[in-house]
Amino acid sequence: MAGEISKFDVIVIGAGINGAGIARDAAMRGLKVLILDKGDIGGGTSGWSTRLIHGGLRYLEHGEFGLVRESLRERASLLNIAPHLVRALPIVVPIYKGRRRGWWTVRGGMIAYDVLSFDKKLPSHRMLSRKATLERAPGLNREGLLGAAIYFDAQSEFAERLVVENVLSAVEHGATVIAYTHVDKLLIEGQKVCGVEFSRVQIVLASFVITISDRP
């Protein structure tokens, strides 16, 4: 393979959930795709995460409504195309007297979350009394407890399978996958990354090179 030069439309570096999803989408659009990873498929951050498929509720506090809406659309897509891997997850948010996020703040956030996910299949939020909250979560600290909100997000219990299925789908649409290989060098022409050199033996050129890191 020494000195061999190959050409692709898109090179994706990192086969976590983000890289796998991008590669699948690009391959389904008819692009010639190469996926590279220094380890196993989904063996990095995607395998260590909380496995939540969330709509970005916490972003509401910062007014990032566009990001929340985008996250909710992606959540809905995963619930639709991978119901065997992604399931609804009820989440209880306790509300305590004297805390920064009081009853009306939490309720307002929940209403906004429901409005932004107007096309969802999951149930809308509900506000629980103190009694109903303790019946549902008896282990909560009772001191100052006013009640709670319950809303639904989603979770993938087997996140690695979700990654692998995205990669397999990409391969079905013509993508090439090479794991356990280290990208040694990005090839740059002017201001543009135009290819990669990996394992010191092969040079690959592409119109787009996408590097993925699932770490924050």
* Predicted pLDDT of residue 2: 45
- In degrees and rounded to multiples of 5, residue 188 shows phi and psi of -120, 130
- Region 146-170: mean pLDDT is 92
pLDDT, averaged across the chain: 86
pLDDT band (50, 70, 90) for residue 1: very low
Beta-sheet strands, E only, within 62-137:
87-96, 126-129
pLDDT band (50, 70, 90) for residue 17: confident
Residue 214 has pLDDT above 70, yes or no: no
Q: What pTM does this model have?
A: 0.74
pLDDT band (50, 70, 90) for residue 145: very high
DSSP 144-182: TEEEEEEEEEEE-TTHHHHHHHHHHHHHHTT-EEE-S--
